[in-house]
Amino acid sequence: AQKITQTQPGMFVQEKEAVTLDCTYDTSDPSYGLFWYKQPSSGEMIFLIYQGSYDQQNATEGRYSLNFQKARKSANLVISASQLGDSAMYFCAMREGGGMETSYDKVIFGPGTSLSVIP
């Protein structure tokens, strides 16, 4: 079963505008972590932001913020003031764990959203 869903295969945004990339996830674990990674055309995987399932506040890292809605199981990435260098694939990922039958030893990725920033 698909555990991470990213419903937007491709997105366009005007430079300097904000953009939201959607991510929904499925888990029965009360303890989990959510991550966003950026993959530019050069191929490397760059960590952007992390949100823990027990965190009370939404995570922020510079121009990146995470709109975490736990009841809806969504963890949308918001990029403010888009720049041309933000054009890349963006992956939402989840690490489950902490229970008797699961461990923290696996991070699974969603299918990704390709973001293009238009000058």
Residues that bind other proteins (CB under 8 A): 31-33, 35, 37, 39, 43-45, 47, 50, 52-53, 89, 91, 93, 95-98, 103-112
The SS3 assignment for 26 reads: coil
Closer residue to other proteins, CB minimum distance, 20 or 98: 98
Closer residue to other proteins, CB minimum distance, 12 or 104: 104
- Please report how close the Cβ of residue 86 comes to other proteins at its closest, in angstroms: 17
Closer residue to other proteins, CB minimum distance, 14 or 60: 60
- Strands (DSSP E) along the chain, which ranges? 4-5, 10-14, 19-21, 24-25, 32-39, 46-52, 60-61, 64-69, 74-79, 88-96, 107-109, 113-118
- Please report how close the Cβ of residue 43 comes to other proteins at its closest, in angstroms: 6
The SS3 assignment for 33 reads: strand
Q: Would you state the structure tokens that stand for residue 40, as one six-digit string?
A: 């530019």
- Please report how close the Cβ of residue 16 comes to other proteins at its closest, in angstroms: 27
